[in-house]
Amino acid sequence: MNFLETIPVVLVLVSALSIVWFTLKTGISPMPSSNQVIGEVCSLAQANPVASVYELGSGWGGLAIAIAKANPKSAVVGYEMSTLPWLFSSLRNHLSGAKNLTLIRRDFMQTNLTDADLIVCYLYPEAMKRLADHLRTQLKGDITVISNTFRLPGFQPKMTVFMTDMYRTPLYLYELRASEIGPLTG
How far, in whole angstroms, is CA 22 from its chain's centroid?
A: 16
Residue partners of 156: CB distance under 8 A and separation at least 6: 174
Report domain extents, the chain.
28-180
Q: Please give the pLDDT value at position 3.
A: 72
Give the range among 44-48, 94-98, 165-169, 182-186 with minimum mean pLDDT: 182-186
CATH topology assigned to domain 28-180: Rossmann fold (3.40.50)
Q: Please give the pLDDT value at position 61.
A: 97
- 81: β partners: none
